Structure 1
Amino acid sequence: MFNLPKTQILRKSKEISATLFAKPKRTTFFSFHRVNQEKNLFRIGLAIPKKKARRAIDRNRIKRLAREAFRQSPTKPSADLVIKLDTPIGKKTSNRLREVERIQIKKQLNNFFLELI
């Protein structure tokens, strides 16, 4: 796995807040907030709250999966995107991200980026 260039990451809270006001596309675990922009950049921000994923290892894994799906995305539209975890993970598994959930999360992220085509 590779790091994303700084130009592809939303860092300013003002930009993230503006993107979060956009109407989201929802899946089982995530809401995807997207705002088209004039610059020829496709940037990503991640909001993985501690209330939804208790363990740091799970939050970091979700972020890695999201960044990897973003990096491997076949299209790069000119937009800002914030991926927000909405559903608590690990309800039935002592607050741990299990293989079944990891596969579902990866599938939802990949499907979202494929729909951008």
Structure 2
Amino acid sequence: MGQRRLRRCSQSHRQEATDHRRRRHRGLSAIEAGFDVFVVTDASGTFNDITRNAAWDRMSAAGVQLVSWFAAASELHRDWRRDVAGLGTLFANHIPDYKNLMDSYSRTSQNR
């Protein structure tokens, strides 16, 4: 049982390292091909700070733009007038402070 558990842990760490290698390689290859590349940093596939930060440093030095999921969603949406409720709901469901802001705005708007 101990051997099986150790093997699973080892496979898990290999998977994390492989995930970062793949992402780093794809990003660097796309930069070399002339593409603008954005990596969503909080969608990382590793819990190892050293591995993650080394991959981010290398990609950033090569010109990859490192962004959060919030920034990526905002960039993809581009214009708040297109779907205020949809994007607002996405943010409210994942960011408690944003939900509080939306609720406060709704109550204030209703009282006018």
From the two aligned structures, give the one with the greater helix fraction: 2
- TM (norm. structure 1) is 0.28
Larger RCO (CA under 8 A, 6+ residues apart): 1
Bigger-Rg structure (1/2): 2
From the two aligned structures, give the one with the greater strand fraction: 1
- TM (norm. structure 2) is 0.29
